[in-house]
Amino acid sequence: MLSQKLYYTQTTYGYARGHEAYNYVENIRRYMLSLEGYLTEKANKIQQQELLASAYPAVPPEKFGK
C-alpha cells in the first residue's frame, strides 16, 4: 500500500518497498517446501528399497557356481 503514489506522497519517508521483503520471505518458504518434498520422497524411496530387499532372501556367492 505504501508503494502506491496515493499513499506514499503523504508519508514522512516516502515510497516503501515492502513487497521486496514479502517476496524474499515467500522465496524462502517455497524453498523450504521444496526441500521437505525432496527429503520425504528420498525417505520413501529408501523405505521402499528396504522393503523390497527384505522380501527376497540373499543368496550366498558360493551357491551361484553350483
The pLDDT value given to residue 1: 65
Mean pLDDT in runs of 10 for the chain (66 residues)? Answer: 72 76 93 97 93 75 69
Report if residue 59 sits inside a domain.
no
Report if residue 13 sits inside a domain.
no
If phi > 0 it is left, if psi is from -120 to 50 it is alpha, else beta; for residue 58 that is beta
The pLDDT value given to residue 26: 96
For 54, the grid coordinates are 527384505
Write the CB contacts of 15 (distance below 8 Å, at least 6 apart in sequence).
2, 3, 8
Q: CA-CA distance, 28 to 37, in Å (whole number)?
A: 14
The pLDDT value given to residue 19: 84
Q: What share of the chain is helix, strand, coil (3-state, %, to 5)?
A: 70, 0, 30
Report if residue 55 sits inside a domain.
no
Report if residue 4 sits inside a domain.
no
Report if residue 34 sits inside a domain.
yes
The pTM of the full predicted model, rounded to 2 decimals, is: 0.57
The pLDDT value given to residue 36: 97
Report if residue 27 sits inside a domain.
yes
For 14, the grid coordinates are 516516502
Report if residue 23 sits inside a domain.
yes
Q: In the chain, how many domains are there?
A: 1
What residue numbers bound the domain in which 35 lies? Answer: 18-50
Report if residue 45 sits inside a domain.
yes
